[in-house]
Structure 1
Amino acid sequence: MKNFVQCGDTLTLPAPYAVNSGDAVLVGKIFGVAVAAVANGADGEFKTNGVFDVPALGTDVAAVGAALYWDSVNKRLTTTAAGNTRVGVAVAAKANGAATARIKLDETVA
């Protein structure tokens, strides 16, 4: 197909802040996980689908299938929808006190 560009599993995006490999970012309505370290404002490669362990609010509890949201202020996942952007679902239970949540990234961020 002559108009095909790419699969979209990995996108080149401008980092909204300096990130290390494995750090998550929200760029507009695109949520991704950095493939490598990227300087603030520089273009880098970000995975936009798949399953990742991402920092999360320690006091949150999430069952498998629970919606997860990105807290852009604290740069972590949360189960709190208000003021945050939905970015995926929990694919493993997250207990109170756990510092990360296992998330399957949404294909489209709402």
Structure 2
Amino acid sequence: MAKNYIQPGNEITITNEDVTDAAAIASGDGVLIGSLFGVAQVDIAVGAEGTIGLIGVYSLPKVSAQAWTVGQRIYWAAATSECTTTASSNKLIGVAVEAAANPSATGTVRLSAGFTI
């Protein structure tokens, strides 16, 4: 292994910055920091550190009025903290790995290793 190797990068530790309008992050919440997206593995209080998962398959909140197909690109709408099939100014986070009905509150997403587009 290379002497400069740090970790696999499947999970990373982040700080829930204590800034204006900051809120606690609950385990299972989607977390978008710049172009990095992950799912909180633990509850993370404002000002505290916690781990987010960058890869894997997660059940995440979605825009209820959308139907998803397997393999469809899924984006994160930061304004509503929901997954959507609408690209617009939203960030690409992965693909649907199960069909989701319209209406439905959650969808199953395979994350694209943390980096949004």
Quote the Cα distance in structure 1 between the aligned partners of 2:67 and 2:35: 25
Scaled by the length of structure 1, the TM-score of the pair is 0.94
Contact 1:63 1:93 survives alignment (8 Å):
yes
Which residue, out of 88, 100, 106, partners 2:94?
Answer: 88
Structure 1 residue 7 corresponds to structure 2 residue 8: yes
- Percent identity of the aligned residues? 38
- CA pair 8-25 structure 1, distance change in 2 beyond 3 A: same
Deviations 1:5-25 (A, max 9, x none): 010001011236421111111
Between the two proteins, the alignment pairs up a number of residues equal to: 110
Scaled by the length of structure 2, the TM-score of the pair is 0.89
Quote the Cα distance in structure 2 between the aligned partners of 1:78 and 1:15: 24
- Over aligned residues, Cα RMSD in angstroms? 1.2
Deviations 1:17-63 (A, max 9, x none): 42111111111111100111002343210000000000011001110
Which residue, out of 67, 70, 81, partners 2:73?
Answer: 67
Q: Which runs of 5+ in 1 are unaligned?
A: none
Quote the Cα distance in structure 2 between the aligned partners of 1:59 and 1:71: 14
Structure 1 runs (4+) greater than 4 angstroms displaced: none
